[in-house]
Amino acid sequence: MKKLLFLFDTDEMPSVFDTVVGYDGGADHVTGYANVTPDNVGALIDGTIYTRGGKDKQNTAIFVGGGNMTKGEELYEKVKKSFFGPFRVSVMLDSNGSNTTAAAGVALLAKAKSLKGKKALVLAGTGPVGMRAAGFLGMEGADVTITSRTKDRAEAAAKVIEKRFGIKVSGVAGGTDEERAEAAKDANVIFAAGAIGVQLLPETAWKDNPNVELLADVNAQPPLGVEGIQATDKGAEYGDKIAFGALGLGGLKLKLHRACIAKMFESAEAVFDAEEIYALAKEMA
């Protein structure tokens, strides 16, 4: 029986990235749907749950993606709520690679050093990856602060993360190098989660800062989010500091994404959101 993966994408076009990783994770066929919303997804869900019975059901799985975390979460909830009794298939949420990228980054940091009680700063922590990274850092027991170019957005995102993960998060303004350097002054862990090709932290803000112990940056396109590290860094040492660049952590991100796809085809009941994906990342890191 063929393993079928259905991509429910909230964007205008289904993601090529998620399609490729779907195949690499073991799907025999990947079908992408665009502009999927909680209002129009009903028939798509019906097609996955009413077509195969018994053990055969585990050969059908759903991946919820797209660039918007909130829309992705709403769609993912709608999919799960539509399941009942045996009428269900495995489902994964990874809008913009949020769960897998953040999980890979934080799992590598946590493996390098315990994060418990550390002050963690997520730069540009309002995007999908940053909001998940903040959640995982909080789950590890870190005291988390996120920045945004506006304080309002930082505070609003902090509230959403607090509600989702049941942790305490502070939101501060980080619209300039000076503001971000100020926020980084007493940070032990810095996770740069900014948009592609945007530098967020000059080298002078961390290289000689005795508080900084760990750095991660998910932006692979120069200029990097953190000046002075390399995209390929995977536990690279800069004096007493340990750094992970976007390509350095990207290997684990991809392996993790593929592993989640493969695991979805092992039962009809798997759910892969933040907690499940982070647990797997910690096993694989």
Starting from the edge strand earliest in sequence, which strands make up the sheet with 169-173, in order?
A: 169-173, 143-148, 119-123, 189-192, 214-217, 241-244, 234-238
User: Shortest Cβ distance from residue 12 to ligand NAP (Å)?
Assistant: 16
Torsion angle (degrees, nearest 10) of CA 246, 249, 252, 258:
-20
Decide if residue 52 touches ligand NAP (CB under 6 A): no
Decide if residue 250 touches ligand NAP (CB under 6 A): yes
Stretch that binds ligand NAP, among 4-12, 54-62, 111-119, 218-226 (CB under 6 A): 218-226
Stretch that binds ligand NAP, among 44-52, 189-197, 207-215, 232-240 (CB under 6 A): 189-197
Among 5, 193, 224, 264, binds ligand NAP (CB under 6 A): 193
Token pair listed for 113: 């050093």
Q: Which is nearer to ligand NAP, 1 or 196 (CB)?
A: 196
Stretch that binds ligand NAP, among 4-12, 54-62, 113-121, 216-224 (CB under 6 A): 216-224
From start to end of the chain, where are the E strands? Answer: 4-9, 29-33, 60-65, 90-93, 119-123, 143-148, 169-173, 189-192, 214-217, 234-238, 241-244, 271-272
User: Shortest Cβ distance from residue 194 to ligand NAP (Å)?
Assistant: 4
Beta bridge partner(s), residue 145: 121, 170
The separation between the first and the last C-alpha atoms of the chain, rounded to the nearest angstrom, is: 32
User: Shortest Cβ distance from residue 42 to ligand NAP (Å)?
Assistant: 28
Decide if residue 135 touches ligand NAP (CB under 6 A): no
CA distances from 231 to 1, 17, 227 (A): 41, 20, 10
Q: Mask: binding to ligand NAP, 149-188, rule CB under 6 A, as x and -?
A: x---x-----------------------------------
Binding site for ligand NAP (CB under 6 A): 96-97, 101, 124, 126-130, 148-149, 153, 193-196, 198, 218-220, 246, 250, 253
